[in-house]
Structure 1
Amino acid sequence: MALPDPQVQPDFYTDVPLKRLMAWAVDAVVTALACLVILPFTFFTAVFFLPLLFLVVGFIYRMVTLANGSATWGMRLFAIELRRPDGTPLDAGTAFAHTLGYSVSCAMAPLQLISIVMMATTDRGQGLTDHVLGTVMINRRAERI
């Protein structure tokens, strides 16, 4: 299975950048809630390194959900998923690499800005990490058409 061509099968890419933004917001809330649940188990000492806790919890959440379904909970809510260059769902290695690329992009504002512009302007709505890995975000429902 190859990746869908955006010119021939545009339904796969319709509204994907907007859905990515909304999925990102949902995933941020899920990560924040997970951090709040973890906080008491650290006897609230994690409050002193909360950004690091958020980063680690978010990394694990994103990597595990991508490896087990090619989409985070937020992505699933908005019916989008990541695919590898050959069109198959992400495996554990690709999920790790994508999560690492995403984390590096978030840590460096210029990279995040470049990624956002790329998602908004490329035919397939790919961000910087997607371009490096060859991954693509597609609409899940379009697959059944």
Structure 2
Amino acid sequence: MYASDVTGPMSGLPDPVREPEFYRGVPMRRFVAWLIDLVIVIAIGVPLALVFGVFTLGFGFALFPAIVTAIAFAYRTLTLANGSATWGMKFCGIEFRRGDGSRFDLPTAGLHTLIQTVAFTFFVLQMISCATILATRYGQSLPDLILGTTALHRPVD
């Protein structure tokens, strides 16, 4: 798939030194994709949560954060499982790959989303995750480091 003679858990990915074009600009693209996905989730989740709140005569408004979080979790997991990228990531020309170079399947997408959701819940973990994107060889966030995945420019295959 890629011209890489690296051995180990990331051996299926392009080498960042020999093929930097796969990683150049990816941190900024990840951020822009996150913003796009945030707008999509808000556009879907907020109206659904409001409708639920109205139909439950106001009691459902207490579940507003849980409903929006559930919508975000489902959106991210399903889009990652179906093409290894969210709609925002596709727009930005990036996608996730596992260390062997393969695209995400449903279990990998679900675990990645779960770890990302937990990291997002704690500000310190989210800041560490952002720092690891900038500091690691493959530009990996905390979920990426745990699962052996990374984001890269969407290859043609």
**Band the TM-score falls in, shorter-chain normalisation:** over 0.9
Identity %: 39
Q: Aligned partners of 2:27 and 2:102: how far apart in 1?
A: 20
Shift of the alpha carbon at 1:110?
1.2
TM-score normalised by length of structure 1:
0.92
Which protein has greater RCO, CA pairs closer than 8 Å, 6+ apart? 1
- Post-superposition shift, 1:3? 0.6
Report the TM-score, using the length of structure 2 for normalisation: 0.86
The count of aligned residue pairs is 143
**Residue in 2 that maps onto 1:119:** 133
Match 1:53 to one of 67, 73, 77: 67
SS at match of 1:69: coil
Q: Distance in 1 between matches of 2:47 and 2:91?
A: 22
Tell which structure's C-alpha radius of gyration is larger: 2
Query: Pairwise CA RMSD of aligned residues?
Result: 1.5
Alignment of 1:77 with 2:87, yes or no, is no
4+ residue segments displaced more than 6 Å: none
Structure 2 counterpart of 1:144: 156
**1:1-145 equivalence runs, <5 A:** 1=1, 2-44=12-54, 45=58, 46-140=60-154, 143-144=155-156
Q: Which has the higher helix share?
A: 1
Provide structure 1 residue ranges, at least 5 long, that are not aligned to the other structure: none
Instruction: Report if aligned partners of 2:96, 2:104 keep a CA contact under 8 Å in 1.
Output: yes
* Structure 2, unpaired ranges of 5+: 2-11
